[in-house]
């Protein structure tokens, strides 16, 4: 099938996905019969380009890498912003790739709502809208008979959402426990090697795992958002980030780490939700026994234990966020949309 | 949507799935809009029952539990066998649940072919047909625009097939390494506790993990069949069980186990296939470093590491075979068929 894609936001993730699309073009066509055109790219600071017959993606990537605005491109649309691009372009799949705002979810919530109301499918990796408005957005999608996909919002390229919604569709999930943030897991792994917190944080920043202001990661906000998404999507509850008890890793000292090790334990930042006896949701550093599966997930890796009514515990482990994994999640969402639209005509 | 199901084979797995269906009836309707009738049950030794308006499943389960033949039932069809049931019943989903014959794949291959040619969807947990004739059967399914689903052939309720084919659809899988047999993993875990092989095997037999003739498990044949299925389905190769180098666990002694432990290693029966430099496929006991993920999978648990081109390694861990997990896999395949047939009308 043929798809017209519009990128809303074209930062690291958008550019990474554009490169992956070019790389995978042949395989998408041969393996899945997917052909695509990128018809629009809308950015906040570099302008918008649109061509209903398809943009020259390679050329635009070159322009962006040189740091030039899209206004230098022949397909520039003066006065077009994200909303106009969503409404007036001939895109049938909108990629919402703007930065996450976990407090308001905006402008991504408005972008996604607008696209769904225009009967356009949406793929996003933005945690804000899914953590804050999942049920509302899904209702709009269903009413308009389009899809909203968001595999990349949790665990990057490790397909936790599809695992829960499709591969475990027949199960009732009663508990989720996971290492959901690669940055803090990297820091704790460095501390296991003997570094103090501040020095491990600096190493994480030097390697690009942690941002200059590491608050969202080290204080647990990012893990909270992911836990809320997993809970609302996979456990059919309706919780908000403020419903999750939150403690970061900044108070963990090297002495804590060493003491735990003497007892055969390791510290991990764990997101945990149980629903069997009321909803209990918490993000906090926990001491895990060293032979537990989650205790053996190190560096930037993520892992998730899903407890089910019928088949006990299923654990999935893989690389956490990062442009490549997140791009892969978008690619997988595109293939999933195609699978649904093709139906039995495989 | 409404489905008419026919059971071909009604042993432990068939009965287990029938019970799960009854248990999940309300949830299937509410969550997925799935309604079903069991219209036929065909067994090799107890006869066949058929009612185009739906059998009384509870009553039939009672009859079977009492050890009575289905000929005592009002819906008995004299002279009907599996093939006649597949062809002449009004079933639209055929559940092929006869015992695995890994050498010939029969009679299951003929059952499945017949159903697909009659344009009926098939769900099977029988390893024979998928290990021996996967490509041929899928071609028939595609030509007839029906589906062939087989999640339960590997890792029981742990959804390895859906993980690979759907959740990781965008990736090229270059290597698979796994603990795919619960019986041998249970035996090796018992040996880790200090038992000799023979005594560990007896314990596995006492608890129902191992059969009276344990050859298929302990000599690695079962792992070979599962590795072939995973390879052909997820890696787009076309290998036969005889292409896999095979060594069982019967030569592993307690002394081997102890020696490995002194070096921080544990013995596991590992199925392994790589395709990056020609196809190399092997099932053999391997010493794994004790901090490797697969080394920490104990008792009847299974685990699978999938190496991909785009997102590195993804590992999934969960309970192996067993009637409950296998029934769950069938349930999930039913939901998956429904998802495809409903398409966007979610």
Q: What is the pLDDT of residue B72?
A: 83
Q: How confident is the model at residue B178 (pLDDT cuts 50, 70, 90)?
A: very high
| Segment B217-247, tens digit of pLDDT | 999 999 999 999 999 999 999 999 999 999 9
Residues 136-155 of B with CB under 8 A from A: 142, 145-147
Residues of B in contact with A331 (CB under 8 A): 170, 310
Asked if the C-beta of B316 comes within 8 angstroms of chain A's C-beta atoms, the answer is: yes
Q: What distance in Å separates the CA atoms of residue A318 and residue A43, rounded to the nearest whole number?
A: 31
Asked if the C-beta of B168 comes within 8 angstroms of chain A's C-beta atoms, the answer is: yes
Closest chain A CA to residue B339? A340
Does domain B164-319 fall under CATH 3.30.360.10? My reply is: yes
Residues of A in contact with B327 (CB under 8 A): 310
Q: What is the 3-state secondary structure (H, E, C) of B77-125?
A: CCCCCHHHHHHHCCCCEEEECCCCCCCCCCCHHHHHHHHHHCCCEEEEC
Q: Which two tokens stand for residue A210?
A: 């942690």
At residue A245, φ and ψ (nearest 5 deg) are -70, 130
List chain B domain ranges: 2-156+324-342, 164-319
pLDDT tops 60 at residue B346: no
Q: What is the pLDDT of residue B345?
A: 64
Burial class (CB in 10 A: 0-12, 13-18, 19+), A93: buried
Active-site annotation holder among B127, B149, B177, B226: B226
Closest chain A CA to residue B21? A170
Residues of A in contact with B335 (CB under 8 A): 169-170
Q: What is the 3-state secondary structure (H, E, C) of A42-90?
A: ECCCCCEEECCCCCCHHHHHHHHHCCCCHHHCCCECCCCCHHHHHHHCC
Angle among Cα B167, B168, B170 to the nearest 5 degrees reads: 120
Q: Which two tokens stand for residue B292?
A: 């490797």
Q: What distance in Å separates the CA atoms of residue B96 and residue B99, rounded to the nearest whole number?
A: 9
Cross-chain Cβ contact B317/A317 below 8 Å:
yes
The superfamily CATH assigns to domain A2-157+324-342 is NAD(P)-binding Rossmann-like Domain (3.40.50.720)
Least confident of A1-15, B168-182, B289-303: B289-303
The verdict on whether A226 is a catalytic residue reads yes
Cross-chain Cβ contact B310/A318 below 8 Å:
no
Asked if the C-beta of A328 comes within 8 angstroms of chain B's C-beta atoms, the answer is: yes
Q: How confident is the model at residue A72 (pLDDT cuts 50, 70, 90)?
A: confident
Q: How confident is the model at residue A320 (pLDDT cuts 50, 70, 90)?
A: confident
* Mean pLDDT value of segment A280-284: 98
Q: How confident is the model at residue A164 (pLDDT cuts 50, 70, 90)?
A: very high
* Mean pLDDT value of segment A164-188: 96
Determine contact, residues B268/B285, Cβ cutoff 8 Å.
yes
Q: What is the mean pLDDT of chain A?
A: 95
Q: Which residue has the higher pLDDT, B85 or B72?
A: B85
Closest chain A CA to residue B297? A293
Q: What is the pLDDT of residue B208?
A: 87
Q: How confident is the model at residue A208 (pLDDT cuts 50, 70, 90)?
A: confident
Q: What distance in Å separates the CA atoms of residue A122 and residue B316, rounded to the nearest whole number?
A: 28
Determine contact, residues B171/B311, Cβ cutoff 8 Å.
yes
**Partner residue opposite A340 with nearest CB, options B156, B327, B344:** B344
pLDDT tops 90 at residue A203: yes
Give CATH for domain B2-156+324-342: 3.40.50.720
Q: What is the pLDDT of residue B290?
A: 87
Q: What is the pLDDT of residue A345?
A: 64
pTM of the model: 0.95
B280-289 and B312-319 beta bridge pairing = unpaired
Q: Which two tokens stand for residue B138?
A: 């899928």
Q: What distance in Å separates the CA atoms of residue A24 and residue B283, rounded to the nearest whole number?
A: 33
* Mean pLDDT value of segment A48-62: 97
pLDDT tops 90 at residue B266: yes
Query: Percent of chain B beyond pLDDT 70?
Result: 99
DSSP states along A98-137: PPP-TTT-TTHHHHHHHHHHTT-EEEE--HHHHHHHHHHH
pLDDT tops 60 at residue A253: yes
Q: Which two tokens stand for residue B38?
A: 């069991």
Residues 50-109 of A with CB under 8 A from B: none
Q: How confident is the model at residue B291 (pLDDT cuts 50, 70, 90)?
A: confident
Closest chain A CA to residue B34? A170
Query: Percent of chain A beyond pLDDT 70?
Result: 99
Q: Which two tokens stand for residue A31?
A: 């393996």
Q: What distance in Å separates the CA atoms of residue B96 and residue B9, rounded to the nearest whole number?
A: 7
Nearest to A25 by CA among A42, A12, A38, A14: A38
Q: Which residue has the tokens 């230098």?
A: A72
**Partner residue opposite A159 with nearest CB, options B147, B168, B315:** B168
pLDDT tops 60 at residue A346: no
* Mean pLDDT value of segment B65-69: 91
Least confident of A66-70, A223-227, B88-92: A66-70
Nearby residues of B225 by Cβ (< 8 Å), 6 or more positions away: B100, B102, B127, B128, B131, B241
* Mean pLDDT value of segment B184-205: 96
Residues 171-230 of B with CB under 8 A from A: 171-172
Q: How confident is the model at residue A168 (pLDDT cuts 50, 70, 90)?
A: very high
pLDDT tops 90 at residue A71: no
Strand ranges inside chain A, DSSP E: 2-8, 35-42, 48-50, 93-96, 121-124, 148-149, 173-179, 245-246, 265-274, 280-289, 301-308, 312-319
Q: What distance in Å separates the CA atoms of residue A345 and residue A65, rounded to the nearest whole number?
A: 40
Determine contact, residues A182/A322, Cβ cutoff 8 Å.
yes
The DSSP code for B166 is I
Q: What is the mean pLDDT of chain B?
A: 95
Q: Which 3 state secondary structure label does DSSP give B295?
A: helix
Q: What distance in Å separates the CA atoms of residue A3 and residue A148, rounded to the nearest whole number?
A: 15
ipTM of the complex, rounded to two decimals:
0.94
Active-site annotation holder among A226, A268, A286, A307: A226
At residue B8, φ and ψ (nearest 5 deg) are -105, 105
Q: What is the largest CA-CA distance in chain A?
A: 65
Helix (H) or strand (E) holding B268: strand B265-274
């Amino acid at each position: 099938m043929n798809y017209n894609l519009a990128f809303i936001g074209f930062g690291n993730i958008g550019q990474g996905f554009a490169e992956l699309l070019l790389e995978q073009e042949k395989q998408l066509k041969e393996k899945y019969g997917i052909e695509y055109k990128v018809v629009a790219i809308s950015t906040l600071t570099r302008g918008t380009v649109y061509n209903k017959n398809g943009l020259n993606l390679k050329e635009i990537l070159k322009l962006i890498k040189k740091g030039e605005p899209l206004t230098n491109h022949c397909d520039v649309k003066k006065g077009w912003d994200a909303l106009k691009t969503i409404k007036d372009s001939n895109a049938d799949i909108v990629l919402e790739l703007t930065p996450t705002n976990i407090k308001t979810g905006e402008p991504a919530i408005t972008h996604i709502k607008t696209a769904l109301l225009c009967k356009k499918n949406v793929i996003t990796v933005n945690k804000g809208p899914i953590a804050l408005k999942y049920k509302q957005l899904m209702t709009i999608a269903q009413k308009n008979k389009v899809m909203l996909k968001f595999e990349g919002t949790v665990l990057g390229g490790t397909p936790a959402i599809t695992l829960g919604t499709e591969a475990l569709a027949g199960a009732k999930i009663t508990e989720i426990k996971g290492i959901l943030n690669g940055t803090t897991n990297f820091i704790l792994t460095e501390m296991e090697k003997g570094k103090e917190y501040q020095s491990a944080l600096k190493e994480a920043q030097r390697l690009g795992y942690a941002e200059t202001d590491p608050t969202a990661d080290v204080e647990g906000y990012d893990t909270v958002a992911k836990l809320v998404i997993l809970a609302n999507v996979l456990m059919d509850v309706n919780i908000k980030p403020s419903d999750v008890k939150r403690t970061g890793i900044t108070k963990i000292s090297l002495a804590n780490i060493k003491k735990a090790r003497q007892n055969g334990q390791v510290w991990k930042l764990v997101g945990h939700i149980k629903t069997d006896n009321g909803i209990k949701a918490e993000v906090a550093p926990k001491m895990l026994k060293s032979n537990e599966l989650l205790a053996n997930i190190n560096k930037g890796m993520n892992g998730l234990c899903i407890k089910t009514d019928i088949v006990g515990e299923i654990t999935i482990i893989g690389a956490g966020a990062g442009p490549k994994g997140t791009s892969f999640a978008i690619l997988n969402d595109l293939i999933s949309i195609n699978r649904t639209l093709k139906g039995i005509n495989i």
